Amino acid sequence: MTLTRRSMLAASAAVPLTGLAAPALAQTGPIRIGMITTLSGPGAALGNDIRDGFNLVVKNASGRLGGLPVEVVIADDGLRPENGRAIAERMVRRDRIQVLTGIVFSNVMLAVAPVVLPAATYISANAGPSQLAGEGCNANYFNVAWQNDNLHEAVGQYVTQQNKQRAYILAPNYPAGRDALTGFKRFFKGEVIAEQYTRLDQLDYAAELAAIRNANPEAVYIFLPGGLGINFIKQYAAAGLRGRVPLYGPGFSFDQDVLPAVGEDALGCFNSSQWALDLPVPANRQFVDTFEREYGRLPSLYASQGYDAALLIGSAIAATRGRVGDRAAFAAALKRADFQSVRGQFRFGNNNHPIQTIYMREVVKDERGRIVNRTIGTAFQDHQDAYASQCKLA
Amino acid sequence: MDSLLLLEQTLNGLTLGVMLFLMAAGLTLIFGVMDVINLAHGSLYMLGAFAGATVTARTGSFALGVLAGVAASALIALLLELTLIRRLYARDHLDQVLVTYAVILIANESVKIVWGPQPIFLGTPEALAGSVEIIPGVPYPAYRLAIIGAGILAAAFLWWLIARTRLGMLIRAGTTHRAIVQALGVNIQVLFALVFAIGGALAGLAGMMAGPLLAVQVGMGEQILILTFVVVVVGGLGSVRGAMAGALLVGLVDTLSRAVLPTVLRGMMEPSAADQVAANLGAVAVYLLMALILAIRPQGLFPRHA
Amino acid sequence: MREPAPWHVRRGWIAARLGLVALLVAPFVLTALDRGYLLPVMTRMLAYGLAAAALDFVLGYGGLVSFGHGAFLGTGAYVTGVLLHHAGQRTPVLRWPVEIGGSADALVAFPAAAITAGALAFLIGAVSLRTRGVHFIMITLAFAQMVYFLVLAIPEYGGTDGLMLPARNNLLDLPLDGDQPIYWLALALLVGFLLVARRVMEARFGLALRGARQNERRMLALGYPVYRIRLLAFTISGAAAGVAGAVLANQAAFVSPDLLSWQRSGELIMMVILGGQGTLFGPVLGAFALLLLEEELSAVTEHWMLVLGPILLLCVLFFRRGLWGQVSGAPAHG
């Protein structure tokens, strides 16, 4: 085989990531994976964790996924749908990237989907809007995390079991926020005394807290990811509501991106997640250990999703021997979900969304004085989303 | 809505009003004395918050953080005046808008490089962490009450400065009879630099106080900047009294309309739609207020005597 | 009595013609070079060029610093988007007082965008033009913010998430699909506006507008209805910006509320100043330069604003003629 100038360039470009360029691949260079995610603003910590979780897998395998060298191209959408769309256009059209992942927020996801899905495969490591799970499901769109409603459904059921009758529920006004409260109401059998939507960039909840006190509910349910949750939980305590009205949420408001900043104000809050720090799964122990060693902090559920997304993509790269451009074959390989998820059991339903177990967790102080979640039980076993039956995929 | 809830929302409106006043007082002075329109005022607010947050994190003392925030903003304002703003006094407002807009871009990007794109979530100082019962059964966050208190102190200080000191006399003269002040041989360069630094200090104070309520992040300055301009225009360009009145008015209208509108609209449409309409019409209310006031008093509530 | 045009005017015309030729061959060259992905970027450049030239109409010639032109750009985009949205949903835009249906026809959408944005500019101008100086800057900004939040308040049109469009417009029953048709449409609209605007500025109307900028009292004393001239200019400018918005909506098949934001208004001013105010061609060049800078610098560094800021600063402080002044050698007005 003669090494052309072009292939030599490609091979040398791959060296820093791979350590050793695979000769068979020297003619194409590494497989490029586009990661559009949120790295600035109040949602920055989420994208940060997804990216770090994803990169950890690549790093552990010396720059490879599925045995082949990859290059992860990362861009910040700033939580603006317009930005996400422009980045997606650039990645798909100019850079001809065929595998994309990373979007945190559902409004960005919905703006990007029409640009990406006709030309590439998208593996969501977070956003799971209902619009892409039901009738609008797509053979080239996979969600490795959950459908938006899932974690909220679990808490809805849990709050009902706790015999709380009157709930005040609150979420940001964007697709995932609306999905969240829909999910909660689907399994909550008591009375929703107020359903409040806030701005996605809102950080001061004084007006809402005054209204909550005035309404005097038995339970407050919030879906406020990242920085939104940090502020709400702190302000909830400062307004004297902590200890008076129990606060519930999905794992998004009570995970390792939020807890260190909130501190003891979050103690005793119950939340749901498809993953937990203390899940007794070997793959999870390895993930938590290597993550902490690499980044010096505990991983969040977002990090676990980024990690699983990388493992899933790796499994499909291995199965197709790197022919990610053969979209039918690549999608079929993804659908087999032939990887060791940090959650243990994992499989896809017909609509390319997970069928999985959802756990309930409680925020506690561990023996080292850190504020963490402890798994207290299982909310759903093999849970599938409510939209799957509307999806025509097999 | 019952009266206790109304009281609480009014206090929330006052908190916003105080923040706006601290911002608007500096902006209106800078405009009144130097005839400069400074878009970068929001950047001073942001830089003060970042400097203060850093010092708070290093020392563990929020009070030191506030001092550092105020000092840093004043210093940066001074540097800005000496290097850039000084060149703009003779220029038209368009040039001022553009140069200070460029300063926003530079400040935002520099902060992103130094502190990273992630926001800093500043804790409330230990002493002010809890709540105070303003009326039995109605706890209100102590920190918010402290902000209102700090605003009153700042307003009193400004009043003393402007009404009782020689510097204040020059500032007053400068806003109304600039040429005469210059002719009297006052070192106008020093006066301008001082006024700019005072404006910077107030912006830094506002930024640092907003830290625990919101988040210290890139772009925080622009969020408050536009409302501040509304306050300044409503109050009358150059008038500190006007800034006070305008700030309280805008703070109350913004907060109360957002509090009242959702309950009104809930009956008419589904919750997410009602909240979307309410949140944005609440914002429109502020601009409507501005248009109405300008229609009645084109020079604002407290026009300066030119 | 026709004097020969001064050298800088001739040089300007030569440069403008060379530019036009470049734009005419660009799609073919880019396709041949396998750089077709740049065409959508160029379409956006043309649209922003149109919006910036429209702003120059009032800012450069009339001396009216509008800090709210994003509102007109965004209104044009939303009108196009809303018509397409309802055409896709097969629902009416308005039921009352008159029923208006959606439309995918460009011959409906573009005029509707122009008329709506123009009407909005007329209303905003009618109030704002009674003020001067800083008040004018601030009040146009405030009105634009009002429009921004009003649009965000309509649940049907996506709020902060933006409005996704089912398709692009049709022109004479042909869909504007692919990269080229919308490019040619944008180019035609830009060239058309520039030709008309040149004429207008050399006619009595333009002279009066410029005269009022230099010395309002004198023009009033000469019997010119300064307020009405300015209002008409503001309305035309708003309408043209609205057309630019319609192009952007089509190009992206997506309407973002960002188009209405004050930052967008600021960028439009920036384009005018970078390019050279009061020259019409300059702002177009400014728009091209700014978007090119964004496209190229953002590929090199995420901190490209740190490059843009100082460039803007230096331009305002030291190169007041702008880019067009460098090209044509012409002094900028104002």
Tell me what pLDDT residue C132 has: 85
Strand partners, A64: A69
Average confidence score pLDDT of chain B = 90
Percentage, residues of chain C above pLDDT 90: 60
- On the question of pLDDT at C183 being above 80, the answer is yes
Confidence class for position B133, pLDDT limits 50, 70, 90? confident
* Choice between A112 and C104, residue whose per-residue pLDDT is larger: A112
Number of domains making up chain B: 1
- B62 CA to chain C: closest CA distance, Å? 31
CATH class for the domain made up of A5-146+279-348? alpha beta
Tokens read off for C212: 């009022």
- How far apart are alpha carbons A263 and B247 in whole angstroms? 34
Mean pLDDT for B123-129 is 87
Which B positions 19-78 lie with beta carbon below 8 A of chain C? 31, 37
Confidence class for position C331, pLDDT limits 50, 70, 90? low
**Contacts with A93 from chain C: Cβ below 8 Å:** 37, 40
Residue B247 inside a domain? The answer is no
- How far apart are alpha carbons B46 and B34 in whole angstroms? 23
- Domain layout of chain A by residue ranges: 5-146+279-348, 150-273+358-390
* Choice between C324 and A217, residue whose per-residue pLDDT is larger: A217
- C297 CA to chain B: closest CA distance, Å? 14
- How far apart are alpha carbons A254 and B245 in whole angstroms? 41
Confidence class for position B190, pLDDT limits 50, 70, 90? confident
Mean pLDDT for B155-176 is 88
Neighbours of A243 (CB within 10 A): 9
* B101: nearest CB among C133, C153, C266: C266
- Domain layout of chain C by residue ranges: 7-30+37-328
- On the question of pLDDT at A21 being above 60, the answer is no
Among the listed residues C39, C14, C8, C56, the one whose alpha carbon sits nearest the alpha carbon of residue C240: C56
Which residues 6+ apart lie within 8 Å of A223 measured at CB? Answer: A152, A170, A171, A172, A176, A177, A180, A181, A184, A249, A250, A252, A253
Q: Which amino acid is at C88?
A: G
Among the listed residues A340, A355, A345, the one whose alpha carbon sits nearest the alpha carbon of residue A387: A355
- On the question of pLDDT at A18 being above 60, the answer is no
Q: Regarding beta strands C174-175 and C170-171, do their DSSP bridges make them parallel or antiparallel, or are they unpaired?
A: antiparallel
Mean pLDDT for B280-302 is 89
Q: What is the DSSP letter of A23?
A: G
Q: Judge: B118–A211 Cβ closer than 8 Å, yes or no.
A: no
Which A positions 350-389 lie with beta carbon below 8 A of chain B? none
Put simply, whether B116 touches C (Cβ < 8 Å) is no
- On the question of pLDDT at A24 being above 50, the answer is no
Tell me what pLDDT residue A208 has: 92
- On the question of pLDDT at A209 being above 80, the answer is yes
Q: Judge: B284–C149 Cβ closer than 8 Å, yes or no.
A: yes
Q: What is the pLDDT of residues C259-270, one digit of tens each?
A: 999 999 999 999
Judge whether C150 and C156 are in contact, CB under 8 Å. Answer: no
Among the listed residues A120, A121, A138, the one whose alpha carbon sits nearest the alpha carbon of residue A129: A138
- How far apart are alpha carbons C197 and C57 in whole angstroms? 8
Q: Judge: C161–A174 Cβ closer than 8 Å, yes or no.
A: yes
- On the question of pLDDT at B77 being above 50, the answer is yes
Model pTM? 0.90
Tell me what pLDDT residue C330 has: 62
* C309: nearest CB among B102, B229, B280: B102
Least confident of A234-248, B98-112, B264-278, C37-51: B264-278
Confidence class for position B305, pLDDT limits 50, 70, 90? low
Among the listed residues A89, A88, A174, the one whose alpha carbon sits nearest the alpha carbon of residue A131: A174
- On the question of pLDDT at A2 being above 60, the answer is no
Tell me what pLDDT residue C174 has: 84
Tell me what pLDDT residue C299 has: 73
**Contacts with A117 from chain C: Cβ below 8 Å:** none
* A150-273+358-390: CATH, from 3.40.50.2300, 3.30.365.10, 1.20.140.10, 3.40.250.10: 3.40.50.2300
Percentage, residues of chain A above pLDDT 70: 93
Among the listed residues A198, A30, A307, C54, the one whose alpha carbon sits nearest the alpha carbon of residue B282: A198
* Choice between B294 and A343, residue whose per-residue pLDDT is larger: A343
Q: Rounded to whole angstroms, what are the CA distances from A382 to A148, A251, A356, A378, C208?
A: 16, 18, 4, 11, 76
Domain that holds residue B128: 10-217
- C147 CA to chain B: closest CA distance, Å? 8
How many residues are present in chain A? 394
- How far apart are alpha carbons C169 and C177 in whole angstroms? 9
Q: Judge: C269–B99 Cβ closer than 8 Å, yes or no.
A: no
Q: Judge: C146–B288 Cβ closer than 8 Å, yes or no.
A: yes
Confidence class for position C12, pLDDT limits 50, 70, 90? confident
Put simply, whether C253 touches A (Cβ < 8 Å) is yes
Put simply, whether A94 touches C (Cβ < 8 Å) is yes
Least confident of A186-190, A312-316, A339-343, C93-97: C93-97
Tokens read off for B211: 């830290």
- How far apart are alpha carbons B41 and B196 in whole angstroms? 10
Q: What is the pLDDT of residues C63-101, one digit of tens each?
A: 999 999 999 999 999 999 999 999 988 888 888 788 888
- How far apart are alpha carbons C214 and C224 in whole angstroms? 14
Question: Which alpha helices (H) appear in chain A, and where do they start and end?
Answer: 5-18, 44-60, 81-89, 106-116, 150-161, 175-187, 206-215, 227-238, 259-262, 282-295, 301-320, 327-335
Among the listed residues A334, A309, A331, the one whose alpha carbon sits nearest the alpha carbon of residue A146: A309
Mean pLDDT for B230-252 is 94
Tell me what pLDDT residue A164 has: 95
Q: Which residue has the tokens 């008038």?
A: B239
C271: Cα within 13 Å, side-chain hemisphere: 35
Tell whether the torsion through CA atoms of B290, B292, B294 and B296 is positive or negative.
negative
Least confident of A24-38, B161-175, C224-238: A24-38
Q: Give buried/exposed letters for C104-123 (b at 16+ CB in 10 A, else e).
A: bbbebbbbbbbebbbebbbe
Which residues 6+ apart lie within 8 Å of A86 measured at CB? Answer: none
Question: Which alpha helices (H) appear in chain B, and where do they start and end?
Answer: 3-34, 41-59, 62-83, 93-115, 142-164, 166-176, 178-183, 188-210, 220-235, 240-266, 271-296
- How far apart are alpha carbons A234 and A204 in whole angstroms? 10
* B2: nearest CB among A178, A214, A234: A214
Tell me what pLDDT residue B169 has: 87
Average confidence score pLDDT of chain C = 90
Judge whether B74 and B66 are in contact, CB under 8 Å. Answer: no
* Choice between B154 and A394, residue whose per-residue pLDDT is larger: B154
State in Å, rounded, how far the first CA of chain B is from the last one. 45
- How far apart are alpha carbons A302 and C314 in whole angstroms? 44
Give the H/E segment covering residue C234. helix C226-252
Q: SS3 for B198-243, per residue?
A: HHHHHHHHHHHHHCCCCCECCCHHHHHHHHHHHHHHHHCCCCHHHH
Judge whether C92 and C282 are in contact, CB under 8 Å. Answer: no
Q: Give buried/exposed letters for A273-306 (b at 16+ CB in 10 A, else e).
A: bbbbbebebebbeebbebbeeebeebbbbbbbbb
Tell me what pLDDT residue B136 has: 82
Tell me what pLDDT residue A19 has: 35
Cis peptide before C97 (omega within 30 of 0): yes
How many residues are present in chain C? 334
Tell me what pLDDT residue A15 has: 35
* A81: nearest CB among C253, C256, C302: C256
Neighbours of C192 (CB within 10 A): 13
Q: Which of C31, C44, C161 to mutate to test the interface with A (most CBs of A within 10 A)?
A: C161
Mean pLDDT for B240-253 is 95
Tell me what pLDDT residue B176 has: 75
- On the question of pLDDT at A23 being above 70, the answer is no
Tell me what pLDDT residue B161 has: 92
Does A5-146+279-348 match A150-273+358-390 in CATH topology? yes
Judge whether B15 and B144 are in contact, CB under 8 Å. Answer: yes
How many residue pairs from chains A and C have C-beta atoms closer than 8 A?
Answer: 36
Tell me what pLDDT residue B102 has: 94
- How far apart are alpha carbons B179 and B28 in whole angstroms? 19
Strand partners, A248: A221, A270
**Contacts with A76 from chain C: Cβ below 8 Å:** 302
Among the listed residues B57, B72, B50, B52, the one whose alpha carbon sits nearest the alpha carbon of residue B216: B50
Tell me what pLDDT residue C178 has: 84
Among the listed residues C18, C119, C73, the one whose alpha carbon sits nearest the alpha carbon of residue C266: C73
Burial class of B145 by CB neighbour count within 10 A (0 to 12, 13 to 18, 19+):
middle
**Contacts with B218 from chain A: Cβ below 8 Å:** 40-41
